[in-house]
Amino acid sequence: MAKAPAALHAARKAVGEALDPEGLTLVGCSGGADSLALAAAAAWHHQRTNGPLAGARVGAVVVDHHLHPNSVEISGRAVRQLKGLGLDPVRIFPAQVDLHSADGPEAAARTARYRAFRTAMKELGATRILLAHTRDDQAEQVLLGLARGSGTRSLAGIPRQRGPFHRPLLDLTREDTEAICAHHHLDPWQDPANSDPRYLRSRIRTQILPFLEEQLSGSIRESLARTADIAAADAAYLEQDAKEVFAQLLEDPDHTGILRLKLKPLREEPPAIRRRVLALAAVAVGAPNPSFERLTAAEKLITGSRSAGPVQLEGDVSVYRGARGTAEYGKLVLVPPPR
């Protein structure tokens, strides 16, 4: 076998830090170069007989979205290669994609995929799943966040870990994963959706990022990924601060589920914390994460709007400022959706 590419050693090190040394770790695999490279790095640990991760159990899950006419064949080819690497167990799980979702086909497929991952974890008794997002994916995600104007958390891009999901390859490139696959004589599947201009992410990948590299900087992908790391640290700090402020300002909820926040100290918080506290309160009473527009409208109730509300948030949640002369005066009140 030819000399291993430097990226393989980096991948093995990063994967080793993400594996559960005592439980079953699954590799989420589509059959593409990124996830096969991740599987190859994980298999190296799976087969070791010494060291701190000796005996670490690594399997794989292939999610079949049934969106490609040859999806059964594609999934089967991925399974054969994963078993050839020595991973065990290796299973295919179907994903039920809502093609009529208002969020669009990409978001619907993602929702279905993560649902299948959780089912796989439960059925196979796994404790975590490794996903094969790379630095290229991170750069694309940051550009998507910029396009949507979604704030610090969106610019933070793809998290390295969230719950049981770990992404150890975020410091590697797509070119690195292709080199790892070539070294192991793996045959990755090329998903045509990755270059389909109907999808925004595909246009970013095939048109916008290459244009920015040519016209702005050849290191734009690294710069965007670095932006994600910085924004992630900032967002985590602000979110933790907001959680502490939320706990301090929240009055004990009554049996109706209505939440009341002390208005004056909330008004004195900086906007970055104030908005996050509002979002936490909205989610606590049953709303999805509020949009920027709805959050801005609710924030005006805190900062001195003549109107006391109510302001409607997503999920049928309403917010108003307690009226003078009532027990709710000096409080911001969030009312859950009717049952």
What's the alpha-carbon Rg for the chain, to the nearest Å?
A: 23
| Distance separating alpha carbons of residues 128 and 111, to the nearest angstrom | 18
Between CA 11 and CA 13, with CA 12 as vertex, the angle to 5 degrees is: 90
- Gap between the terminal Cα atoms of the chain: 64
Binding-site positions: 30-35
**Which residue shows structure tokens 């799980």?**
93
Whether the CB-CB separation of 7 and 179 falls below 8 Å is answered with yes
Binding residues for ATP: 30-35
**Distance between CA 170 and CA 159 in Å, rounded?**
9
C-alpha dihedral over 36, 134, 234, 318, to 10 degrees?
-70
Place of tokens 């509002």: 278
Sign of CA dihedral 28, 79, 169, 34: negative
Buried/exposed 107-118: b ≥16 CB within 10 Å, e otherwise: ebbebbbbebbe
DSSP alpha helices (H): ranges in 125-219?
A: 135-148, 152-155, 174-183, 200-203, 209-215
Question: Which residues, listed in sequence order, are joined to residue 311 by a DSSP beta bridge?
Answer: 319
* CA–CA distance, 72 with 75 (Å, rounded to integer): 5
